[in-house]
Amino acid sequence: MQRDLMGKLFQWRDDPLRMPLILRGARKVGKSWLVNAFSEHFEHFIELNFDLDEQACELFMGRLEVQRILEKIQLYSGTKVVTGKTLLFLDEIQECPAALKMLRYFKEQCPELHVIAAGSLLDFILEKVGMPVGRVQFLYCYPLSFAEFLTVSGRDDLREYISLVPPLWGGTVDSGRFASDK
């Protein structure tokens, strides 16, 4: 399956000013699937799911030193952490506020590391924990759009056609989302 957000993830990966990415969206819209598919473009992939693995949160306890935490993650996962070649995925991060807080330090102390966090209930804890402005990036994941459905169904011809035909209401269609012209 192909999701349109994959292109945004490649842009993020290649950005020299990249920050840790927080992937937001409702439950069951494909956030984890998207990151797992994206991980195939890295030499190393580490996924910590704080909802399924309660012990994973313990890796972020103690002093907020990135190198120390990365050493613990490497030992825990059995996967080597190589900056620029490893994707670290912190899934259901709302279950571990210490990991959420740590995102800013990944940006400050190890900006070469590719870090993506996701969580369907993340919005509820962001207000409590707070997010440092300028230290993380956000990307919103929606359910599969009609345009993406057409691609998955092998009907790129129809997808191209609907992108060329102006909608009846006078707006535009952008990747299956509606945006009104101003």
Using the predicted structure, report yes or no on whether residue 176 has a pLDDT greater than 90.
no
Indicate the range of 16-20, 103-107, 162-166 predicted with least confidence.
162-166
Rounded to the nearest 10 degrees, how much is the dihedral formed by the CA atoms of 127, 132, 137, 141? -10
One domain for residues 123 and 153: no
CATH number of the domain encompassing residue 35: 3.40.50.300
- Whether 182 is covered by a domain: the verdict is no
Provide the mean pLDDT of the chain: 88
Instruction: Output the pLDDT for position 66.
Output: 94
One domain for residues 98 and 42: yes
pLDDT digit string, tens, across residues 4-59? 999 999 999 999 999 999 999 999 999 999 999 999 999 999 999 999 998 999 99
- Whether 105 is covered by a domain: the verdict is yes
State the residue range of the domain holding 76: 5-140
- When divided into structural domains, the chain yields a total of 2
One domain for residues 75 and 161: no
One domain for residues 100 and 123: yes
Residues with Cβ within 8 Å of residue 151, at least 6 apart in sequence:
2, 159
Q: pTM for this one?
A: 0.85
